[in-house]
Chain A
Amino acid sequence: MQQKGMVMTTLLPRSMRTVVTKMGRWLGTACLVGMEVTLAMPATSLAADAPRRPNIVVILADDLGFADMGSFGGEIKTPNLDSLAKDGVRFTNFYTHATCSPTRSMLLTGVDTHLNGLGNMDEWTAPNQVGVPGYEGYINKRVATLPQLLQGAGYHTYMVGKWHLGKQPDQIPRARGFSRDFTLLDGAGSYWDMTNLTAATPKSVFTEDGRYLTKLPDDYYATKTYTDKLIGFIDDNKADGKPFFAYVAHQAPHDPYHLPKDWRNRHVGEYDKGWDALRQERLKRQIEMGITPAGTQLSERMWFLPDPIVLAPAARAVTGKKMELYAGLVENMDHHIGRLIDHLKKIGEYENTIFVVFGDNGPEGTDLFKMLTGTPGTRDYLFAATAWSQTHPNAWGDPGSYAAYGPMWAQVSATPFSQYKAWLGEGGIRNALIVSGPAVKRPAGSINRGLMHVADLMPTFLELAGTTYPKTLAGQELPPLIGKSWTQVLAGQAESPRTDQDYLAWEIFGNRALRQGDWKIRWQYKSLGKSDWELFNVATDPAERKDLAAQRPDKVKELLALWDGYVKANNVILPSRSMFETLEDQLPPRVPDEAGYPPVSYKRQFVPPKDMMADPKP
């Protein structure tokens, strides 16, 4: 073991050796894990770097919706992201997981969540999952990580932004393969400072190059600082000519909507029209752009949301302002992504950089703040009263404010799909994906409908880096990758990395789904689900309006057989407790959303014919 470590230290770049030397005992163990992975690499990957292997930049937006970017039908101004779409290719059948850390775990490992440690989110591990391998709440040691493997293949590996995959010294980015990082370890928090969300964890934890930060840099603002740091990392090492892998895990646009003042008032009053009108506008653009097939219907408006037409102007203004802030937050993120793009152009690296852009899950429709702050009399409520009580709309965006746009606007972000983050409706798991760069040989600005998955990134990047996935890690067999490489799709040699027989499957919080070809089965807690299996044809009904389970029991049975195989292969343990277990009791009874009902809310003032009007007789 010691000998292996010595050999590896020699093979590591000087900067990494220095870092390894400086790192404390707690990091040493973690690094050795990475070293052993590298030892298991094929010899070819350790050869001198090919000078023109591509840089890889993954831009992960937190809770960004399918329809938010301009290139996917959004009215939000995202010129820089759209420029990547214009140069590259957009994918409309790309899937992540329904929540944050599970998606990230698959991105970074290529392995199913129930094996890589994120079988459940750390915050919601059920009693029957505690202590079970695969449900650790962080990326466990039985899997290799993408940065570890790329580092071993001669890449610089950089991370900025949100991690949410473990805080212990052997779980942080530096320990899992990133040579440089500036990281928020938590899943959410202030964009301005180290304030976190609950009394139990009042302070966000950050690391920089493997060291836990005692304070944040001056002039800190998450999106800006992350970008500054990454540009610094790139510049620090650009002289050695090695390619880099950059994982840009923006906190934006996750709530709370914290954004600089300059970005708050760019859409004043624009969203007073309400969510229904905006969804219709976005769908129209999506159809015109070819993102969504003609004839696509919008998903039902959630039955517990009002038709904006019936709302008073003030209610529209206040709810609309939340969407204004969200739009500003996305635009601010786009601005900083533009800074990164411009910098890469300036240093001559843009043309050799593959960009991959997507959101980590559907848009957030759950009132996270309410969930976290609890009720009066609790310690979390008291904490919120001191740290998160800037509730005036003019304070939204400032430190201490917590604005989030709620399910009504989340449905807009998910246009045309149903549901949102944490749920397995298409709105929770299907995301906009942009890929651009030298690997893309498809026509610039084209759209592809191949069935893609976030776990595909691992095999794709390994192939682009000229290396392969090792069979073992520290003498232990690694679980198989569930993803498929995109290289042929990007090269225009295939339309999808998957055959009609391949399937994708998801489970989180007890909700579960499986898609094979055009068909999808879904089991979800009431009332967003039926607590029973539903069947949808997501090709003809992407909004999942029509449950076909009763009509096609044969298809349900066929897909359930696949589901059973998935459960067995991945040790899926349905949670004994779920954040949704009492949801049905909290929501009003579910009723269909039918346009124009009840008529009493939509009738107009009757105006008699003028020639029949008269003053009263004396």
Chain B
Amino acid sequence: MKPLIRARWAAAAVLALAALCPPQVLAQVPARFYWKTLSGASAVPVIFNSLSGNTNPFDPSNLVTPDANFDATMAMAGWAQTYTLGDRSAMAAIILPMGRVSGGVAGFTETSRGFGDPMLEFNYNLIGPKAQKTIPDVLRYEPGFSLDLLVDLMLPIGEYDNKQSVNLGQNRWYGRIGTPVVWQLGSWVPGRRTTLELLPAVWLFGDNNDFVGQKLKTDPMFQLDAHLTRDFAERIWGALDLTYYKGGGSTINGVAAGKLNNVGVGLTLGYTVNENLNLTFGYKSTVNDSAPTDMRMDGFMVTLVFGWHPIIEGMRRLKSE
């Protein structure tokens, strides 16, 4: 019947729009990442990055090497699952970065290729709508003011060569704790949705005791990601992105290697191809980055997220009969 079809469409669209895409190596996720969807949904995210700057994109501490140039071509693939925990929305994900990165100062370039440090992510909603356990819950979902607890942990098993400073793996434990916020501004109608999204987070780093034979220590780093997003039409949206880094001072064998106080800005365009597939295209660049010790990086990012849920898939099969 017609209402059923509408419900099915709406649920599936939300599934894809919920953007179960993973965090990326820049420790920035696209806008609309923390929208919630139906519990029991799965997603496979694939993220492509082309990055350039004076810091290794695979290193979330963004250790700056003055006068250096790094170029990276990366992909990240993973798997994410939504579920209900104590009546609240939760998500667990595992992401594996891969690709190649090369860089260094003039005349001295290093290259690394292979797999980076896998990341485990757990996100749990603290404030906001209850978990979406049924399709009616999906239909009635509006984030209002939503606040989550986010915990990321990177496993130090990625490609690492202690003879060079440019690596995919970081040879240390590290992770972050954050509180993603989604703040709905106005109606929650596809084509008219507006959100302000914030992710304040603190990164914590273990020591790398074999950083080209030296000891790399990194202080905690504060990072704020902010996005102002707006639907342009039912299936297409855009975002103004801002990232702020502060702290994360590093020492190598006790010698200070600088700390961060940088801002990056960017734009993102999102497009819902169909009820399962969501695409984003974005560009971001640091600003006020002319000093040698400032972090300088820019990059393009394309994300592709394929999400599904057994109920939605079953209804699709029936529909196609």
Contact = CB atoms under 8 A, between A and B. Distances in A.
A317 B10 CA distance: 12
Interface string B123-148: 00000000000111001101000000
A393 B4 contact: no
B192 to A, nearest CB: 8
Contact of B187 (A268, A313, A319, A398): A398
A314 B190 contact: no
Contacts of A317: 7, 135-136, 139-140
Interface in A389-440: 390-395, 398
B7 A392 contact: no
A374 interface: no
Nearest to A321: B139
A21 B315 CA distance: 68
B3 A318 contact: yes
Contacts of B10: 392-393
Given A272-B136, A306-B1, A314 B189 contact: no
A269 interface: yes
B6 interface: yes
Contacts of B11: 314
B134 A319 contact: no
B143 to A, nearest CB: 12
A315 B189 contact: no
B190 A392 contact: yes
Contacts of B234: 392
A315 B9 CA distance: 12
B142 A318 contact: no
Given A306-B1, A395-B187, A314 B7 contact: yes
A315 B4 contact: yes
B112 to A, nearest CB: 48
A316 interface: yes
A318 B189 contact: no
A321 B3 CA distance: 11
Interface residues of A, number: 22
Contacts of B284: none
Contacts of A311: 4
A312 interface: yes
Interface in B201-243: 234
Contacts of A319: 3
B13 to A, nearest CB: 10
Nearest to A314: B7
B32 interface: no
Contacts of A392: 10, 189-191, 234
A395 B192 CA distance: 9
Given A312-B4, A319-B3, A269 B136 contact: yes
A462 to B, nearest CB: 48
Contacts of A394: 142, 187-190
B139 A315 contact: no
Contact of A393 (B134, B139, B192): B139
Given A318-B6, A318-B7, A313 B189 contact: no
What is the interface of chain A mostly: helix, strand, loop, or mixed? helix
B193 to A, nearest CB: 9
B8 interface: yes
A398 B135 contact: no
A517 B268 CA distance: 72
Interface string A50-81: 00000000000000000000000000000000
A288 to B, nearest CB: 31
Contacts of B140: 268-269, 317
Contacts of A390: 189
A314 B136 contact: yes
Given A319-B3, A394-B189, A395-B189, A314 B142 contact: no
A312 B8 CA distance: 11
A599 B53 CA distance: 70
Interface in B1-26: 1, 3-4, 6-8, 10-11
Contacts of B134: 313-314
Select the residue from B3, B10, B11 with max chain A CB neighbours within 10 A.
B3
A316 B189 contact: no
- Identify the interface centre among A272, A313, A392, A393: most chain B CB within 10 Å of its CB: A392
A318 B11 CA distance: 12
Among A268, A269, A312, chain B packs the most CB atoms within 10 A around the CB of A312
A381 to B, nearest CB: 16
A129 B187 CA distance: 48
B139 A318 contact: yes
A517 B191 CA distance: 57
Residue among A306, A316, A317 with max Cβ neighbours from chain B (10 Å): A317
A268 B6 CA distance: 18
A393 B135 CA distance: 13
A269, A306, A395 pick with most chain B CB within 10 angstroms: A395
A390 B231 CA distance: 14
Interface string A435-476: 000000000000000000000000000000000000000000
Given A269-B136, A272-B136, A314 B8 contact: yes
A316 B4 CA distance: 9
A453 to B, nearest CB: 38
Contacts of B8: 314
Given A268-B140, A306-B1, A394-B142, A315 B187 contact: no
B188 A314 contact: no
Interface string B179-206: 0000000011111100000000000000
Contacts of A398: 187, 189
A5 B38 CA distance: 73
Interface in B124-175: 134-136, 139-140, 142
A174 B7 CA distance: 47
A253 to B, nearest CB: 20
A393 B190 CA distance: 10
B4 A314 contact: yes
A170 B142 CA distance: 50
A5 to B, nearest CB: 55
A272 B139 CA distance: 13
A353 to B, nearest CB: 39
A317 B142 CA distance: 15
Nearest to B11: A314
A311 to B, nearest CB: 8
A306 B3 CA distance: 12
Contact of A315 (B3, B188, B191, B192): B3
A269 B134 CA distance: 12
B142 A315 contact: no
Contacts of A314: 3-4, 7-8, 11, 134-136, 139
Contacts of B1: 306, 315
A315 B7 contact: yes
A143 B206 CA distance: 93
Interface in B79-137: 134-136
Contacts of A315: 1, 3-4, 7
Given A318-B6, A318-B7, A319-B3, A313 B188 contact: no
B51 to A, nearest CB: 37
26 contacts: A261-B187, A306-B1, A311-B4, A312-B4, A312-B7, A312-B135, A313-B136, A314-B3, A314-B4, A314-B135, A315-B1, A315-B4, A316-B136, A317-B7, A317-B136, A318-B3, A318-B6, A319-B3, A392-B189, A392-B190, A393-B6, A393-B10, A393-B139, A394-B187, A394-B188, A395-B192
Interface of B: 1, 3-4, 6-8, 10-11, 134-136, 139-140, 142, 187-192, 234
A-B interface, 3 closest residue pairs, ranked by CB to CB distance from nearest: A314-B7, A317-B136, A314-B135
Interface of A: 261, 268-269, 272, 306, 311-319, 321, 390-395, 398
Given A314-B8, A392-B189, 14 more contacts: A261-B187, A313-B135, A313-B136, A314-B11, A314-B134, A316-B136, A318-B6, A318-B139, A391-B6, A392-B10, A392-B234, A394-B189, A398-B187, A398-B189
